[in-house]
Amino acid sequence: PDTAQKKSQKGTVIAIGSGKMLDNGVRTPFEVKVGDRVLLAKYSGVDIEEEGENYLLLSERDILAIL
């Protein structure tokens, strides 16, 4: 539909969280690091605007590849 917008499928990681907490209380480290260029799943994540900049928040599982 006309209301759908095409999203970029490439991006640069600018920040990451502390990792996923497992049932045993251990955090799993991220595969990506700040500065990595990544290929994203189409229509994944949540778009936000902060101080005039647009960002895409997403789960690591929505990252298809590190470029």
Q: What is the pLDDT of residues 10-51, one digit of tens each?
A: 999 999 988 888 999 999 988 899 999 999 988 888 999 999
The tally of domains found in the chain comes to 1
Return the CATH number at 61. Answer: 2.30.33.40
Closest CA to 56 of 18, 39, 65: 39
**Residue 39 confidence (pLDDT):** 93
* 51, part of any domain: yes
Range of the domain at 21: 10-66
**Residue 5 confidence (pLDDT):** 60
* 5, part of any domain: no
Decide if 16 contacts 2 (C-beta within 8 A).
Answer: no
4-8, 17-21, 22-26, 54-58 — which is least confidently predicted?
Answer: 4-8
**Residue 15 confidence (pLDDT):** 92
Neighbouring CB atoms inside 10 A of 38's CB total 19
**Residue 13 confidence (pLDDT):** 94
* 2, part of any domain: no
* CA distance to 2, 19, 21, 30, 37, per residue, from 40 (Å): 22, 18, 23, 15, 10
**Residues facing residue 66 across a β-bridge:** 38
pTM for the full predicted model: 0.74
